[in-house]
Amino acid sequence: MEREKERHLALVHGGGHGAWCWYKVAALLKSSGHQVTALDLAASGIHPKQAEELNSISEYYEPLMKFLGSLAAEERVILVGHSLGGIGMCLAMEKFPKKIAAAVFVSTWMPGPDLSLLTLSQEFYFSISLTTSCVLCFFLSSY
């Protein structure tokens, strides 16, 4: 059986994490013969920028954009993102459509043309508010 072509996977961590969170997945993928790049987004992991230095979400995802911009013209990667990493993947897919072979969203937000980040965040805060209200009602009705 002929070995499948090596793939290059770029792993994008979620909020409050760093490239370190992918160490087991990266090791398994590498042992299967794939090339793996686990990125530290700005102010995460060992990235030198500090959180208070960030002025926008674009600055947070700058390491991902620089990485994709540095790839050879014919090179394509599979993006794998978790949590807040999904938003950066969406931005990257718009900016570098020819450099991304596929995207894997792992328990993440996935905005699109009809589902904006604003809509997602409003739904999220509504669900938190609703859950908090239900818990509070249950707690108060217990007394």
Query: Could you read off the pLDDT tens digit of each residue along the chain, which spans 143 residues?
Result: 345 578 999 999 988 899 999 999 999 999 999 999 999 999 888 887 887 777 888 889 999 999 999 999 999 999 999 988 998 998 899 999 999 999 999 988 676 667 666 666 666 565 555 444 444 444 444 44
Angle between helical axes of 62-70 and 85-95 (0-180°, round to 10): 40
Position 115 scores a pLDDT of 66
Beta carbons of 58 and 70 less than 8 angstroms apart: no
Q: Which residues contact 93 (CB under 8 A, 6 or more apart)?
A: 79, 100, 103
Position 1 scores a pLDDT of 37
Position 118 scores a pLDDT of 67
Position 55 scores a pLDDT of 84
Position 108 scores a pLDDT of 82
Give the span between the Cα atoms of 76 and 96, in whole angstroms: 10
DSSP per-residue codes, 52-68: GG--SHHHHTHHHHHHH
